[in-house]
Amino acid sequence: MTARHVPHDALRRFIASAFVSQGLPAADAGQVAQLMADADLQGSDGHGVIRLPQYIKRIRAGGINKHPDIRVVHERAAMAVVHGDNGMGHLVVSKAVDIAIEKARSAGVAWVGTRYSNHAGPASLYARKPLQHDMLGLYFAVGNANHLPPWGGAEMLLSTNPIAAGIPGGDEPPVVLDMATTVAAYGKVKAKAKRGEPMPEGWMIDRQGRPLLDPTRAGEGFLLPIGEHKGYGLALIVGLLAGTLGGAAMGRDVIDFNADHVSVTNTGQAILVIDLAAFGDPARFKAQVDKLVRDIRGSERLPGVERIWLPGEQSHDKRQRYARDGIPVSAVLLDELNTLAADLGIAPLTPLAPLNPEVTA
């Protein structure tokens, strides 16, 4: 069965109504729904509406504070720590980014960390947010389940702790990096299992250190960090910055939110915002980014390589295509969402008429 397509706005409204049905205030539900639909719109489909059933499960289990007092607990001219009061991560991180943008406007640069936050979706959503203000963003987060041992180790003390960066171009799309510090994100392993495909060597090892290729046996092994000990070092540093520094969970304190829907996760994230205007004329910077982007895109390719991509270019393309044609949602996920809708007593998610009716007939 092919995927069906859903308009961005319909997806946003569907998600919002699901949260409202569980007692989230309408404004908060709308903000989370916007960010989740935006994740799907840019092709971050492992972090968009696919997470809705899990979020609802956690809310119903009492694992999320529906009326959090999200507040600043430490503050200086160029930094703050936001206490999320165990609210939805999207709300906590959005507030952190807004504060960082305001502070960067005067101080030039600002760092805002979170504590008692929760899973907040794809890192790039937040690294991108400063772009519209002619600012750039760097984002760090502690992942919500430990899948990575230290290099040489067999105990999963680290998560896939992602790094994201958003850097504005002028006429060119922004350079947006969003990467786990492991070779594969855990969601990619789950996707391989769903499709019945083996994993490439280098994604995971088993407890003997041997390559693990069967994704259905993922529970018996560990993810591998990028660049061997280097990715381990990066995951550790990101965790110290996004977790420990802000007073959030790290190492053995990280809650596996796939298995535990009740415990307070005390998730930590951190955003660094830099105001381009503090460094000179933003237009000049953006013109230089454009030139670099074009130099890279137009540079000599290895045999057999069709195109050189810039980080963020593929999600930029998807954003434009999906805004026009709708967001693809697999039939399996659509079924799952509409079972949830019936359970919650909300209107189902209605896809657009199939683009290729003869295929789905």
What CA–CA distance (Å, rounded) separates 192 from 198? 7
Sole binder of a copy of itself in the list 196, 219, 280, 357 (CB under 8 A):
280
| Count of residues in the chain | 361
Q: Judge contact between 39 and 125, C-beta under 8 A.
A: yes
Instruction: Report the nearest approach of a copy of itself to the CB of residue 143 (Å).
Output: 15
What CA–CA distance (Å, rounded) separates 61 from 59? 5
- Three-state DSSP class for residue 253: helix
In the region spanning residues 103 to 122, those forming contacts with a copy of itself, defined by CB under 8 A, are 106-111, 113
Q: Is 23 exposed, middle or buried (0-12, 13-18, 19+ CB in 10 A)?
A: exposed
Instruction: Report the nearest approach of a copy of itself to the CB of residue 18 (Å).
Output: 33
Residue window 21-60: x/- pattern of binding to a copy of itself, with contact defined by CB under 8 A: ----------------------------------------
Instruction: Report the nearest approach of a copy of itself to the CB of residue 100 (Å).
Output: 10
What CA–CA distance (Å, rounded) separates 90 from 217? 32
What CA–CA distance (Å, rounded) separates 112 from 72? 10
Residue window 135-174: x/- pattern of binding to a copy of itself, with contact defined by CB under 8 A: -x-x----------xxxxxxx-x-----x-x-x-------
Size of the site for a copy of itself (CB under 8 A): 79
**Cβ closer to a copy of itself: 274 or 337?**
274
**Cβ closer to a copy of itself: 61 or 154?**
154
Is residue 335 involved in binding a copy of itself (CB under 8 A)? Answer: no
Element (H, E) at 135: strand 135-141
C-alpha Rg value of the chain to the nearest Å: 21
* Token digits of residue 30: 């709308």
**Cβ closer to a copy of itself: 52 or 289?**
289
* The one segment of 7-15, 269-277, 324-332, 339-347 that binds a copy of itself by CB under 8 A: 269-277
In the region spanning residues 306 to 325, those forming contacts with a copy of itself, defined by CB under 8 A, are 307-311
Is residue 19 involved in binding a copy of itself (CB under 8 A)? Answer: no
Q: Judge contact between 356 and 2, C-beta under 8 A.
A: yes
What CA–CA distance (Å, rounded) separates 204 from 214? 9
Sole binder of a copy of itself in the list 15, 33, 79, 123 (CB under 8 A):
79
Q: Is 1 exposed, middle or buried (0-12, 13-18, 19+ CB in 10 A)?
A: exposed
* The one segment of 40-48, 52-60, 223-231, 329-337 that binds a copy of itself by CB under 8 A: 223-231
Is residue 252 involved in binding a copy of itself (CB under 8 A)? Answer: yes
Instruction: Report the nearest approach of a copy of itself to the CB of residue 335 (Å).
Output: 33
Instruction: Report the nearest approach of a copy of itself to the CB of residue 156 (Å).
Output: 9
Instruction: Report the nearest approach of a copy of itself to the CB of residue 115 (Å).
Output: 10
Instruction: Report the nearest approach of a copy of itself to the CB of residue 252 (Å).
Output: 6
Q: Tokens 């019936």 correspond to what residue?
A: 342
What CA–CA distance (Å, rounded) separates 27 from 52? 17
